[in-house]
Amino acid sequence: MGTAEGGSGVPVTGTGVFGSGSIGVRAVGLGGPGLSAFSQGKKNAAVDGRCSDGTGVLGGSETGAGVTGESNSAAGVLGISHDGPGVQGHIADSAGNNAMGFLGGRDPTFFQHAGVYGESDQQGVMGLTTVPKGTGVYGGGTAGANGDQIGVRGETQGGVGVQGESFGEGIAIQGQSHGRDQGLAGRFIGNVHVQGNPGTSSGDLRVEGTSSFGGNVEMAQNVNIKGMLNGSAIECGGNIKAFDVVLSGGDCAEDFEVADSEAVDPGTVMVIDGEGALAPCQSAYDKRVTGVISGAGDYKPGIVLDKRPSAPNRLPLALLGKVYCKVDAAFGSVAVGDLLTTSATHGHAMKARDPSRAFGAVIGKALRPLVTGRGLIPILVALQ
């Protein structure tokens, strides 16, 4: 052991310090570092600690950091283990207990292959970034044949596996995928529960990309879901349970097979043809009337039933709610509240002036007047 004031204790060209025994090297600093080591080689370690059955490097401090590592081009602190955590950090609890995790009665399989293991009565591992767009804690994995690597994983027996908190206008948890075909911004295999804290959060679930829900989605607060946003959709393979659902569309529609879908515009009055498909109406007071093709004007369908994207010649038919409809006033001026039925004009409705013929052929009620000519007016669909 060597000492020198203001300089190096042991100036040599080979091994700086070598020690063997129960404690290979022990250094105590009264006003500075207990042990300071520097290496100029790119691949050399300033401090190399190895132990066949124990701890390679053990650092402890009452008020500061137990071990501090700094590097300009490599790892500040590198830990390698073949049967245990590469780096293990532990802090004493409020009672002063300072037992290591291995001696605390835990299952060694919990952390036997951990790159970094931290244990504390508060934060086991904490990461902080001080620059914009920095990363406090980063986890990554290399791509494999099955794509089963997990960058960051949280596990708990009865608490929260992963928790994100945001103060102000930040985002608590953000997921982003760069995959072209199968990439998902978020995937929930189990149940998803969305609940805001009274007075601090509205509990909004905001989805801007494609998310896949494999379980139930329970919404305890107001939840704003924007499906088909920028061409992306929200897919839910389970159940959605909500106290209140607000839809921005105007009607409830259902997809039906249309005989000639390319020749049918939104707002067209449809009837069932002889083959069971839909076709534009062509006669007055037709009791085969089924509804109005949704999507004309300012009203879009709020919900579409029996959606089959892969099936051709299918269009959404408004069965309930508000929809813009083609109307011909040549058979009588239409006032607000008038009942409407099919007309002889291709795909147009008209005022139902004959009650005896209108029964079973009424489409709905006019919400705006149409004095003369033909046009699109909003109606309230109510098949009778």
pLDDT tens readout for residues 197-209: 544 445 556 665 5
- Residue 149 maps to a domain: no
Cβ pair 251, 227 in contact under 8 A:
no
Cα separation, 268 vs 379, in Å, equals: 12
Residue 280 has pLDDT above 90, yes or no: yes
Residue 179 has pLDDT above 70, yes or no: no
Reported confidence tier of residue 132, pLDDT bands at 50, 70, 90: confident
Which residue would you say has higher pLDDT here, 49 or 364?
A: 364
- Residue 131 maps to a domain: no
Report the DSSP pairing between strands 87-90 and 186-188: unpaired
Same domain, 241 and 283: no
At 101 the pLDDT is 40
For residue 34, give the amino acid letter: G
Same domain, 306 and 197: no
Lowest-pLDDT range, 128-132, 174-178, 206-210?
206-210
Where is the domain boundary, 223, 246, 269?
246
Reported pTM? 0.48
Which residue would you say has higher pLDDT here, 208 or 155?
A: 155
- Residue 63 maps to a domain: no
Q: How many domains does the chain have?
A: 2
For residue 203, give the amino acid letter: G
Residue 99 has pLDDT above 50, yes or no: no
Cα separation, 55 vs 62, in Å, equals: 19
Residue 290 has pLDDT above 70, yes or no: yes
CATH code for the domain of 361 = 2.40.300.10
Count helices and strands (H / E) in the chain.
Answer: 1, 18
Residue 368 has pLDDT above 80, yes or no: yes
**What's the mean pLDDT when you consider all of the chain?**
75
Where is the domain boundary, 217, 246, 275?
246
Same domain, 220 and 325: no
Reported confidence tier of residue 14, pLDDT bands at 50, 70, 90: low
Residues 6+ positions from 235 with CB-CB distance below 8 Å: 210, 211, 212, 213
At 78 the pLDDT is 76
At 311 the pLDDT is 74
Cα separation, 109 vs 47, in Å, equals: 29
At 102 the pLDDT is 41
- Residue 43 maps to a domain: no
Same domain, 270 and 338: yes
Same domain, 214 and 279: no
Closest CA to 320 of 257, 380, 247: 380
Residue 103 has pLDDT above 50, yes or no: no
Q: pLDDT by residue (tens digit) across 20-61?
A: 666 777 777 766 677 777 776 666 777 777 777 667 777 766
Residue with tokens 């879908």: 261
Same domain, 340 and 377: yes
Give the angle 114-116-120 at the CA atoms, nearest 5°: 110
Cα separation, 180 vs 144, in Å, equals: 17
Residue 108 has pLDDT above 60, yes or no: no
Residue with tokens 């601090």: 200
Range of the domain at 200: 182-246
At 140 the pLDDT is 78
Cβ pair 194, 202 in contact under 8 A:
no
Same domain, 233 and 259: no
- Residue 207 maps to a domain: yes
Same domain, 230 and 309: no
- Residue 304 maps to a domain: yes
Average pLDDT estimate for 163-186: 71
Name the most confidently modeled range: 5-9, 77-81, 93-97, 236-240.
77-81
Strand (E) or helix (H) holding 355: helix 355-358
Where is the domain boundary, 224, 246, 268?
246
Which residue would you say has higher pLDDT here, 357 or 245?
A: 357
Same domain, 261 and 306: yes
Residue with tokens 């905001």: 206
Residue 261 has pLDDT above 70, yes or no: yes
Same domain, 281 and 331: yes
Residue 364 has pLDDT above 90, yes or no: yes
Reported confidence tier of residue 185, pLDDT bands at 50, 70, 90: low
- Residue 37 maps to a domain: no
Same domain, 357 and 296: yes
- Residue 235 maps to a domain: yes
Reported confidence tier of residue 192, pLDDT bands at 50, 70, 90: low
Reported confidence tier of residue 1, pLDDT bands at 50, 70, 90: very low
Residue 327 has pLDDT above 80, yes or no: yes
Strand (E) or helix (H) holding 88: strand 87-90
Cβ pair 269, 319 in contact under 8 A:
no
Cα separation, 23 vs 59, in Å, equals: 12
Cβ pair 214, 188 in contact under 8 A:
yes
Main-chain dihedrals φ then ψ at residue 337, nearest 5 degrees: 100, -10
Phi-psi map region of 42: left, alpha, beta (phi>0 left; psi -120 to 50 alpha): alpha
Cα separation, 182 vs 193, in Å, equals: 25
At 347 the pLDDT is 95
For residue 328, give the amino acid letter: D
At 139 the pLDDT is 82
Same domain, 220 and 241: yes
Average pLDDT estimate for 51-73: 72
Residue with tokens 């600690």: 49
Lowest-pLDDT range, 3-7, 31-35, 52-56, 105-109?
3-7
Cα separation, 212 vs 189, in Å, equals: 8
Residue 221 has pLDDT above 60, yes or no: no
Q: What is the dihedral of CA 308, 309, 315, 317, to 10 degrees?
A: 50
Lowest-pLDDT range, 42-46, 61-65, 103-107, 367-371?
103-107
